Each structure stands twice: as C-alpha cells, then as structure tokens.
Amino acid sequence: MDPADPSAGTGTALVRPPGPRLAEGIVTHIGRRPVDTALAARQHEAYVAALRASGRRVRAVPPADDHPDAVFVEDTVVVCGDLAVIGRSGETRRRGEASGAEQAVRELGLRIERIKAPGTLDGGDVLCVGDTVYVGRGARTNEEGICQLAHLLGGRRLVPVDTRGCLHLKSAMTALPDGGLIGVPELVDTSVLPFIRVVPEPAGAHVVLLGPDHVLMSASAPRTAAQFAADGLRVTSVDISEFEALEGCVTCLSVLVP
C-alpha cells in the first residue's frame, strides 16, 4: 500500500503466525539472545488484533514450520496494486517460505510474477511511496533483482538505495502517511533520497500505515511515538520484543493488500 493512499485502513493483511522453530531464526547484524516463543505467540496475536482493529481483514498465509523466519512474511512477496511479485531471497535458507505466500495472493486474485535467478529480492527491501519505489540493495536484494522488479512495475519510478549495517531497507527507513521518509540515515545512501527525518530510536524508523493519519509501531520507540502523536498522528504501539531479537520489525510481520 502506498503512503497517502485513501484506501489506507481497508483491504487485507497477510500474516503468518510464528512457527515452532522461531528461536532458530537467522541473526546477522545483532547478537543472538534467547527468544521466548510463548511470548512471541502472544505478541503476534496482539499485532494481528491491531491490524483488525484498524479495519483490515486478516488472512493467514499457510504455515512453513520448517523455516524459522517464516513469520516475517513481508519478505516473500511485494504487492503493488493488483500485482504480486514473488521474491527470491538472497538468503537461500529462506527461499522455501515463498510458496505459501504465493498461494495466499493467488487466492486473493492478484496477478503473479516472480523474481528469477540470478536475481534476488526480499520484500523488506521494497518501500512504495506514491509512484516512487525505493529498493534496498544489499545482502538480500541484488542489482539483477532490482532490474527485474523495475521491469515488472512498469511506469513507477524505481530508486535503488544502498544499505549498510542492516538487514533490509525497511530496517533503516519507512514512510509516514504523508509520504515523508523517516529513518536512520547512517544505514542508507541518503544521496538518492529527497529527505529523511531522523528518528530518536532505531525502532522508530519502522511504521505500518493503518490509515491516512494512523500508524502502527513498536513499543520500543516511545520517544518517536510521542513525536508522531504531537504531529497529529494516531499511534498504535505493540510490543514485538521477541521478533526484534531476530532483527524483525513491525513491517516484517505482514503484507498489506489494498
């Protein structure tokens, strides 16, 4: 879904509950700590409840219990309008997660395209802002994957953004309902960005748009939440500590379909 889209707050949210091997999830840029899987399940339920409360219909993606990171369903598919692009992760251990996501978007009636070898692309590297699509170029998404996505998206302006020290582009930045970029500038190549508002906490870089003036964000970014509320935004905060222990954030846990 695009920022400033009047359909914000409607449509479907695809989610995949955490599986039994969640604690084995891949960690790249942070130290590993124990993950409380029972707490993670409760946190995921609260996250889903927040999506439903915003007016979203919630649809579960078929489980992929052999894949510890499958709960981070955003990485499997990019949805733009009526097109669903099935990703091909640069992390080979995650490629088996995509089939369930493809089944879910097919059942929603979306057109299906795929990133093909040697291209790689994770949905967490794709940020749509109006007619502009920012795509992170890093360990999970390569130049070939970006070129394929640009071809599939047709008339949209696509801007590659080099990332460093983070898992995905959306680990470093997202956008508010008015389209303004927010994030951690030292993690991205700011020379290709029009402007980025610096957030006081790393977790404040991640928002899910629940409506034209409503955002979902992590409870671990209270100062950022206070700033957004002062700006007139409605803020819903959820505790996702067990997913943050695996480099996850609020955007990772769903795919929004207008």
| Enzyme catalytic residues | 168, 252
> Smallest Cα–Cα separation from 35: which of 81, 82, 72, 68?
68
Cα distances (angstroms) measured from residue 134 to each of 7, 25, 68: 21, 26, 27
Q: What is the DSSP pairing of strand 83-86 with strand 77-80?
A: antiparallel
**Rounded CA separation 43/51 (Å):** 13
Instruction: From 139, 70, 141, 136, select the one nearest 99 (Cα to Cα).
Output: 70
DSSP 53-90: HTT-EEEEPPP-TT-TTTT-GGGGEEEETTEEEE-B-S
CB atoms within 10 A of CB 213: 17
